Structure 1
Amino acid sequence: MSIEFSKQLSARETPIPGVVLYELPVYGDNRGWFKENWQREKMVALGLPDFKPVQNNISFNEKAGTTRGIHAEPWDKFISVATGKIFGAWVDLRQGPSFGAVFTAELDPSQAIFIPRGVGNAFQTLEDNTAYTYLVNDHWSADAQGQYTFLNLADETAAIDWPIPLEEAELSDKDKAHPRLADVRPMGPRKTLVVGANGQLGKALRKLYEGDASVEFAGRAEFDLGSPEAIAEKNWKNYSTIINAAAYTAVDTAETPEGRQAAWQTNVTAVARLARTAIEHDLTLVHVSSDYVFDGTAKTHTEDEAPTPLSVYGQTKAAGDAVVSVVPRHYIVRTSWVIGEGNNFVRTMANLAARGVRPAVVNDQIGRLTFTSDIADGIRHLLETGAPYGTYNLTNDGEPKSWAEIAADVFELSGASRSDVSGISTYEYFKGKDAATRPLHSILSLHKIQAAGFHPPVGESRLADYLG
C-alpha cells in the first residue's frame, strides 16, 4: 500500500450536508509511518464540529471484500483507516430534503471522514488485514439499537458501485436483509425541548413551532424544573436544544421572604440544573434574561455591560445569566417589557380605556416593548442560522418611550383620548408601597442581533396589530 506522506491537513465538503472528508498528514520513514488520527484543536479550527467523542472502536477485517453496512446510528462518528484500504459509501438517511443523497470515496490511512448522526455508513475492504477505526460521541446501549436506521447494500436507488461485486463479497445475513430505500424509516432530528411552555413566551413558541414534531413542549405538569428527578428521568440523548421559557417574574413579590425563595429556586437553582444537563449532554441552552439585571444608569445597555441589579428579581436573573454563560453552547436572550398572551400592561391599559378610567402612569422609566412572537422568532433565527453563541439583546425596534407614552398609544388605538393618561414619577407612583426598585432606563442596544441577521419589527406597528 502506498501512502502519500506529509500532506497538509485539509477538509473537503461532500454532497451530503455535514459529511466532511479530511486529508490527514502522515509522516513516514524507513521504520513505518505516524499520524495524528484525531487532533481536536487543529480539526476544530478547520471546521470539524467539536463533537466530544467518548468511545473509540476498531473493526479488523481479515480479507479484502469484507463489506459492512449500511447503518445509520444515533450518534456522530469520525472514521479513519489504521491500516489497509477501504471503499466507503455513505447515504443520508435523515429526515429532510437530502434524504437518499450518496457519497463514496476510497480511504487509506491518510484520510478521515466525519459522519453526522443519521447518515448511513458502509465500507468494503480493498486489501487484506484492513483495520477500520472510528470515534463516536455516545456510548453504545441496547436502548440505542432501537434508534438505528438501515439500508440494503444492494439498494437500486442508491446504486452504489461496489469495487468488489456484492455477490463476491463477505456480507452478514443481517446486512443482506436490510430494507430498500423506499421502505426505510428516516431518522428524525434530535428534539428541542421548550420548558415553561404555558407562559407568555411558551405560548408564542407553541404557535411558532405548531406542527413541528421535532419541538416538544413541557409545562410544569410535564416537566417540573424544581424537581431533580425530572432532569434525571429524561433521555437527553434524544435532544439537541433546551429553550428555557420558564421564569419567576413577580417583581414586587420577590421582595418578600417567600417570594425571594421562589425567585431564587426558579431563576437560579432550576437554571443551574438545566445548565449542568446541557454541559453533560452537549446541548444548546437558550435562556431568556431581563433588563432588570441593570440599574438603568446607562442610557442604552449593551450585551457586555456588567450586571448591576437593583431588586431581588434582578439579582436572580443576573445569577441565572452567569450560570448559563458557562455552557459552551448557549444563547442568553435579554429582553424588556414583555407583552404576550395573558395579563400584561397593554391589556390592562386597553381595559381601563374601555371603562373610561383616566390612569396616572409612570413617565420616567424609558424603554421598548417586546412582543413574545418576536422573541420566539428571534430565538428560532439564532438556532437555525447557527449564530455565534453568547448574549443577544432582543426587544422591538423603534423610538424608546415611557410607560405613560405607551399607555397613551394604547388609549388612542382603543378609541379613547391620549389626554386621558397623565404622567407620574416612579418615586411618586410607588410612594408608600412595598415595591421593588425599577431601572429608569431599560433601552437595550439591538446592534448585535441585527448584525446576526435578525431585525426586530418596530414596536408601534406590533402594538397596533396586538390590539387589532
Structure 2
Amino acid sequence: MSLPSLETTAIPGLVVVRLDRRDDDRGFFKENWQREKMLAIGLPDFGPVQNNVSFNSDRGVTRGIHTEPWDKFISLATGRIFGAWVDMRQGDTFGATFTLEMDTSVAVFVPRGVGNSYQVLEDATAYTYLVNDHWRPGVTYPALALGDPTVAIDWPIPLSEAIISEKDQNSPTLDPSTAMAPKKTLIVGALGQLGRALFAAHPDADRVDLFAGEGVTALDLTDSAAVAAWPWHQYAVVLNAAAYTAVDAAETTEGRVAAWAANATGPATLARLAREHGFTLVHYSSDYVFDGTAPLDPGHVEDEPLSPLGVYAQSKAAGDLAVGLAPRHYVVRTSWVIGDGKNFVRTMQALADKGVSPSVVDDQVGRLAFTDELVRATRHLFDTGAAFGTYNVSNGGAPMSWREIAQAVFERSGRSADDVSGTSTTAYAEGVLAQGNPFAPRPLNSALSLEKIRATGFEPQDALVALDRYLA
C-alpha cells in the first residue's frame, strides 16, 4: 500500500493523515497505523502503549472537549464524525481551534495538551485511538464546555439536540489559568559543576542528586523502589550530569563500585525509563572512553571504537553504550570540564595567588570544556532538531597540554608562564604511587574532533576566550 499523506493545521503539532483505504464489494481495508510509513510522512515517533475503542450507538452523541496529558492518534473503524480540537496549552496559540468531518479514511494526530472532542454523524460509529501513556487514577486535566462562546465551534447537530453526558454538560468555559503546562525538565546530578550550569539555564527544572541540598531532592538511581516511585511521566527531557569523577579513587575496591553505580548503572536505568516514558535523555560523557592514541588532528571522532583504559573510563564507556539504547538520546561527549566549583583552573589560579610554582604534566593534550559551552551546545541540539546520537563538545581552539593551560592561568593572574614547569605523566604517576595512592591511566590525547557538532551550525568558542571570561 502507498504512503498516507499528512496535512498541517493551525494548531501546532495537530496534523491530519489521509489514509490509503482500499475499497471493494466486500468492504474496505486500510493500514490504520503503520509506524514506518507514519514516520516517513513526518509524524513523531510517539510510542503508543494502549489502543481504545469508543462505540457510539446513536447519531448525535457528542463527547466533551477533554485535554488529556498524552498524545493521541485517532481514527474510525466505522461511521462518520465531526471532530473538534482546541489548543489548551500555554502559549500564543492557546484557544486556537480546528474542526474536520472524518470518515474511516482519515486519522488525526493530537499532541498532548490539545483538547479533543467529536460529534457522531452516523449510527454505530466506532471511534478508535492510540495513546502513549496509561491512564492513572487521580490524574486530572482541563475540560472545556462544548458550547463555549469564545471558541464558538459550529456543531453540525445543535447541542440542544445532541446526546451529552452530565459531566460534559457542566464543563467550564475557556480560562487561561487552566492552560496545560508543557512537560518538565529534570536535571540529574544537579549539585555538580555541570548540574549547576544546567539549572542556571533551566531555572524551572526539577533537580535531583545522590544527596539532597540547595533545593535538590535526593534520588539514588540504584534504588529500585525510589526509581519506581518517581513521576518520570512528567518529563519531556532528562539531563544526566551525574557522574563519579574521582578517576584515581575509582581504582580502589570501594571506588570501583561507586564508579560503576554512577557511570554505568545510573545511565542504564535512565535509558530504560526513556524507552518506557518517551522522554529525551541527554547524557554527558568523557574523553576517557578513548585510550588517547588517535591523531591530534582531527582528534577522537564520535564513532571511533571505545577503548577505555581505567575503571572510571570503563564505567563511562558502559554508560555511553547503555544510553545509546534510548530511542531519543544525545550523548554529549566532552573533556576537561570547568565550571562553578573545584577544578583545575581554580586550583592553578589559587597556586598563582599564593606564589606557588607548580610542576604540571605536559604530555597530556586536550581542550577545556566550560560548562556554559556545554549548556549552549545542548540547547543548540534541541533548537535545531539535530539527529539523535553522540556529539563531541568542548571549547574550540588548538589543543593544549595541562601545563600550557596552567601557564595561561598564571599569565592572567599576573605571574610568569615560566613559573609553571613541566613533567611527564609517567613521572607524575610514580610520585603518586610512591605515596601509596592509586593512580589511573590517562589518555595522552584527549582532543575531540568537533566537526560533527559544527556541521549542525554550532561553532565552539575558543577555549582561551572562554578562560578570559571565566577568570574575570
The answer to whether residue 278 in structure 2 is matched with residue 282 in structure 1 is yes
Aligned-residue offset at 1:183: 5.5
Deviates most, 49-58 or 319-328:
49-58
Aligned-residue offset at 1:86: 1.0
Secondary structure at the residue paired with 2:83? Answer: strand
- Are the structure 2 counterparts of residues 51 and 8 from structure 1 closer, same or farther at C-alpha, using a change threshold of 3 Å? closer
Are the counterparts in 1 of residues 3 and 37 from structure 2 also a CA contact under 8 Å?
no
Q: 2: distance between equivalents of 1:95 and 1:135?
A: 24
Indicate the residue corresponding to 2:136 in structure 1: 141
Instruction: Find the partner of 2:264 among 268, 274, 279.
Output: 268
Aligned-residue offset at 1:67: 1.3
Q: 2: distance between equivalents of 1:335 and 1:162?
A: 56
Deviates most, 427-436 or 191-200:
427-436
Q: 2: distance between equivalents of 1:8 and 1:412?
A: 64
Aligned-residue offset at 1:400: 1.2
Indicate the residue corresponding to 2:223 in structure 1: 227
Q: 2: distance between equivalents of 1:345 and 1:115?
A: 50
Runs of 4+ in 1 over 3 A off after TM superposition: none
Are the counterparts in 2 of residues 396 and 456 from structure 1 also a CA contact under 8 Å?
yes
Q: 2: distance between equivalents of 1:112 and 1:226?
A: 42
The answer to whether residue 165 in structure 2 is matched with residue 172 in structure 1 is yes
The answer to whether residue 360 in structure 2 is matched with residue 339 in structure 1 is no
Instruction: Find the partner of 1:129 among 118, 124, 127.
Output: 124
Q: 1: distance between equivalents of 2:184 and 2:381?
A: 16
Are the counterparts in 2 of residues 7 and 23 from structure 1 also a CA contact under 8 Å?
no
Indicate the residue corresponding to 1:3 in structure 2: none
- Cα displacement string for residues 162-181 of structure 1 (whole angstroms, at most 9, x for unaligned residues): 12222222222221211111
Aligned-residue offset at 1:433: 2.1
Question: How do 1:308-323 and structure 2 match up within 5 A?
Answer: 308-323=307-322
Q: 1: distance between equivalents of 2:457 and 2:341?
A: 30
- Are the structure 2 counterparts of residues 357 and 432 from structure 1 closer, same or farther at C-alpha, using a change threshold of 3 Å? closer
Aligned-residue offset at 1:249: 0.3
Indicate the residue corresponding to 2:470 in structure 1: 466
Amino acid at match of 2:450: L
Aligned-residue offset at 1:429: 2.4
- Cα displacement string for residues 417-437 of structure 1 (whole angstroms, at most 9, x for unaligned residues): 122112222222222423211
Indicate the residue corresponding to 2:54 in structure 1: 59
Question: How do 1:204-223 and structure 2 match up within 5 A?
Answer: 204-210=197-203, 212=204, 215-220=205-210, 221=212, 222-223=218-219
Which runs of 5 or more structure 1 residues have no equivalent in the other structure? 1-5
Provide the TM-score with structure 2 as the length reference. Answer: 0.94
The answer to whether residue 461 in structure 2 is matched with residue 451 in structure 1 is no
Aligned-residue offset at 1:73: 0.3
- Cα displacement string for residues 365-409 of structure 1 (whole angstroms, at most 9, x for unaligned residues): 111100111112222222343321111101001111111111111
Aligned-residue offset at 1:76: 1.0
Instruction: Find the partner of 1:248 among 244, 249, 265.
Output: 244
Q: 2: distance between equivalents of 1:184 and 1:402?
A: 55
Secondary structure at the residue paired with 2:207? Answer: strand
Q: 1: distance between equivalents of 2:222 and 2:126?
A: 49
Indicate the residue corresponding to 1:428 in structure 2: 427
Question: How do 1:26-425 and structure 2 match up within 5 A?
Answer: 26-144=21-139, 146=140, 148-182=141-175, 185-210=178-203, 212=204, 215-220=205-210, 221=212, 222-298=218-294, 299=296, 300-425=299-424
Q: 1: distance between equivalents of 2:177 and 2:441?
A: 60
Amino acid at match of 1:262: A
Provide the TM-score with structure 1 as the length reference. Answer: 0.94
Are the counterparts in 2 of residues 149 and 184 from structure 1 also a CA contact under 8 Å?
no
Which runs of 5 or more structure 2 residues have no equivalent in the other structure? 213-217, 434-438
| Aligned pairs, number | 458
Q: 2: distance between equivalents of 1:456 and 1:367?
A: 14
Secondary structure at the residue paired with 2:293? Answer: coil
Secondary structure at the residue paired with 2:449? Answer: coil
- Are the structure 2 counterparts of residues 385 and 178 from structure 1 closer, same or farther at C-alpha, using a change threshold of 3 Å? farther
Are the counterparts in 2 of residues 150 and 184 from structure 1 also a CA contact under 8 Å?
no
Indicate the residue corresponding to 2:215 in structure 1: none
Are the counterparts in 2 of residues 8 and 23 from structure 1 also a CA contact under 8 Å?
no
Are the counterparts in 1 of residues 88 and 180 from structure 2 also a CA contact under 8 Å?
yes
Please tell me the root mean square deviation across aligned C-alpha atoms, in Å: 1.6
Q: 2: distance between equivalents of 1:225 and 1:83?
A: 47
Secondary structure at the residue paired with 1:357? Answer: coil
Are the counterparts in 1 of residues 133 and 277 from structure 2 also a CA contact under 8 Å?
no
Q: 2: distance between equivalents of 1:81 and 1:415?
A: 75
Q: 1: distance between equivalents of 2:19 and 2:146?
A: 28
